[in-house]
Amino acid sequence: MYKLIVLDRDGVINQDSPTYIKSPEEWHAIPGSIEAIAKLHRHGYKVVVATNQSGIARGYFTQNTLDAMHKKMLDQIEAAGGHIEDIFICPHGPEDGCECRKPKSGLLLQAANKFNISPSEMLIIGDSIRDILAAKNYGATAIFIKTSNKNDDLLAAKSAGVSVYASLAEAVDYITNKI
């Protein structure tokens, strides 16, 4: 059993947008995702979120606005009986050269250090090849969620031998029944 499940946010928990989710009003959970997180919690999994949020660096929204979006998400998860242990954020842009922006594994390292676990004890769930590469770069297992039209990412995930599911809810059904 994995000790820590690491979820990407946009496209896994909430609906993604090519123009960024810039306010709590624009943040909408994908149907079934909140309940899936609650199910993981009921089955004893620790769950965290690791998310690139370059909208901060680009000036699309502030840290306070991001915090308000996350409060909305956490409130919905808690109301459903779930729990998120922590949220790890990369606020940098793609050109900033940081170590935390996926596909680099800095966010995963932060989570592993906080919870004192090894890469083999982590399961990363994402909808982008960046999530899959971050997991592979760190030595963790990954699951790809096909909730978007990222066909190149889907093909790359399949080529990497990563399990693919249509939604977080479908992946969680597999995890809680098979792993």
DSSP letters spanning the chain: --SEEEE-SBTTTB---TT---SGGG--BPTTHHHHHHHHHHTT-EEEEEEE-TTTTTTSS-HHHHHHHHHHHHHHHHHTT----EEEEE---TTS--SSSTTSSHHHHHHHHHHT--GGGEEEEESSHHHHHHHHHHT-EEEEE--SS-HHHHHHHHHTT-EEESSHHHHHHHHHHH-
Residues 6+ apart with CB under 8 A from 19: none
The tens digit of pLDDT for each residue in 84-132 reads 999 999 999 999 999 999 999 999 999 999 999 999 999 999 999 999 9
CA dist., res. 69 & res. 88, Å (int): 14
Q: So which residues are the catalytic ones? A: 8, 10
Domain containing residue 46: 4-178
Number of compact structural domains in the chain: 1
Q: What is the pTM of this model?
A: 0.95
The tens digit of pLDDT for each residue in 119-175 reads 999 999 999 999 999 999 999 999 999 976 677 888 888 888 899 999 999 999 999
Count of CB atoms situated within 10 Å of the CB of 111? 25
Residue 156 is predicted with a pLDDT of 84
- Read off the CATH number of the domain in which 167 is found: 3.40.50.1000
Q: With a cut of 80, say whether residue 179 has pLDDT above it.
A: no
